[in-house]
Structure 1
Amino acid sequence: MEPLDDARTDAYLRRLGVDSRPGRASPEALRELHLLHLRTVPFENLAIHLGEEIALTRDALFDKVVTAGRGGICYELNGGFAELLVSLGYRVELLQARVYGKDGVPGIPYDHLALRVDGRWLADVGFGEHSAYPLDLDEPGEQKDPGGVFLLRPAGEGTDGEGADGTAGTEGDLDVLRDGVPAYRLETRPRVLADFRTGAWWHSTSPESGFTRGPVCSRITEDGGRITLRDHTLIATSADGDRSEEELGTDEEVREAYRARFGIVLDRLPVPLHPRS
């Protein structure tokens, strides 16, 4: 990916609450930017339910995340974050992944976009509940993170030498596990942003996609918890795992929650494309 110009780089950093550029492209700066992104740029699928296009172009990603102050789904969040990191001197590769369903089977190709940074770090600010910090691709053991305990293992090292879904993995693929449960299968061959357009189209149109069943907006909070707005339900989870729910009774209350909790100003509410049955 090409770097952003200086003005756009500085604007993106301000979006994250960073006043000045990191002194160098270090792992420590990457950790800080990763966490700040998760805190300030929400994972949200509102475009799907507002009739907006999910456009995977360099300008569209910047305009949505920075200029419009919105969030997005994985392709948009990790695509935008990749632009920022390249602009700060990191070497970034786009990787495709297939997300494991509740049945333990990976989803469609290009189901998810994640980032390999400087050949070592798995950065992912677009998966919802996941790691707060980048994961070390060179670490064969468990990695403790505020988001859970993660393990990156070669696909094919599951039960009886098979992958986590019971199938042998392609050489080089990795299964990413969170708290012992497979999250996604990562292909380590680099891709380009245009490769993910089919996945973005499927997720924004198919009744089989969880993204089309209702609006969701979520981010990590400053105290290590999470705040989520799903349809009209506001869900707060503390860092200790305590959970509370509040049903918002009016459209105005929902719009105010988007504004106050996520910085998103809407003139109309998203309407589920394929409502949950």
Structure 2
Amino acid sequence: MNKEKYLARFNASAIQEYYLQDLTELQSLHMQNIPFENLDVMRHVPIYLNLEKIYEKIVNQRRGGYCYELNGLFHWLLSQLGYQAKLISATVQRPNGTWAKTDTHAAILVEFDTLYLVDAGFGDSTMSPIPLGGERHTDHSGTYRIEKVDDVYYDLIRENEENEKVLYRFSTDEKQLVDFHEGCVFNQVSKDSSFTHNDLVTRATQNGRITLSDHQLTRSENGRKTKIELSPADKRNVLKEEFGIDPASLE
């Protein structure tokens, strides 16, 4: 795999220093230029936890992916660049407060003076690394902190307008990409998966986020949202113009 080509895929430059600010820029650019998407899931195209295949899809075919693909490949890049990075598993809390299938989300920890949570594959979430020490970070999507639950687990929490929401719970135990095989299969085929019902494509922007859900396009900018219903032709144009995905490649 060619890390320079991968960096160019999300408009990043090769870095010479491996500091927190460089990691922050990499994560932000990755989330703005490589979408979170489930289009293969919805079209019953199998997704394999193979870095060569993921690289081909994301870099050469200029597609996006879901957490195993996005964070799996981003973890490989960070390791190649010299960061002390490891994959971890997490359990997502759904908007209704119930928990998704245990340990079926893949994220990344990077070590500096302390551990930082890095996640380029969760969709609408922070664009910056979050320290495990409890310090808050705020961007246009909300204010985030990580709270220790017990001796094993931590919660990623988002605060919006005095409300708190646990996004997911994780431990610091290192995982390999192959460890997510069961979760990857589950999220491709189960009716209980969040990804088997409608097309979902989303990416961050400098001031918000743009999301395609089935035939509805939602733009969020500086906290304000607008929603538009799309025709099939409009949807094809949005995939191409807003997400860089060639609709013909999905047929």
TM-score (structure 2 length as normaliser)? 0.93
More off after superposition, 105-114 vs 75-84 = 105-114
Matched with 1:132 is: 127
Q: Is the 8 A contact 2:71 2:119 kept in 1?
A: yes
Match of 1:259 among 215, 230, 240: 240
Give how far 1:85 is off: 0.8
1:118 is aligned with what amino acid? E
Give how far 1:269 is off: 6.1
Distance change (3 Å), C-alpha of 1:141 and 1:28: closer
Q: Is the 8 A contact 2:136 2:144 kept in 1?
A: yes
Correspondence 1:59 to 2:59? no
C-alpha separation in 1, matches of 2:42 and 2:250: 8
Give how far 1:268 is off: 7.0
Deviation track 1:56-103 (CA, whole Å, cap 9, x = no partner) reads 111012111101101111111111111111111111110000001234
Matches within 5 A, 1:1-277: 4=1, 8-18=2-12, 20-118=13-111, 120-137=115-132, 139-156=133-150, 171-179=151-159, 180-222=164-206, 224-239=207-222, 241-249=223-231, 251-267=232-248
C-alpha separation in 1, matches of 2:250 and 2:214: 9
For the aligned residue pairs, the C-alpha RMSD in angstroms reads 1.6
C-alpha separation in 1, matches of 2:209 and 2:215: 17
Q: What is the aligned residue count?
A: 245
1:207 is aligned with what amino acid? K
1:210 is aligned with what amino acid? S
1:13 is aligned with what amino acid? L
List runs of 5+ in structure 2 lacking aligned partners: none
List runs of 5+ in structure 1 lacking aligned partners: 157-170, 271-277
C-alpha separation in 1, matches of 2:83 and 2:212: 33
TM-score (structure 1 length as normaliser)? 0.84
Distance change (3 Å), C-alpha of 1:102 and 1:17: closer
Q: Is the 8 A contact 1:106 1:185 kept in 2?
A: no
C-alpha separation in 1, matches of 2:224 and 2:182: 38
Distance change (3 Å), C-alpha of 1:61 and 1:237: same
Q: Which has a greater percent of strand?
A: 2
Deviation track 1:204-263 (CA, whole Å, cap 9, x = no partner) reads 1001111101011000123x1111111111111112x211111112x2221111000000
Q: Is the 8 A contact 2:135 2:145 kept in 1?
A: yes
Q: Is the 8 A contact 1:255 1:269 kept in 2?
A: no
C-alpha separation in 2, matches of 1:103 and 1:176: 16
Q: Is the 8 A contact 1:124 1:134 kept in 2?
A: yes
Deviation track 1:30-59 (CA, whole Å, cap 9, x = no partner) reads 000000000000010001112211111110
C-alpha separation in 1, matches of 2:204 and 2:136: 22
Distance change (3 Å), C-alpha of 1:200 and 1:254: same
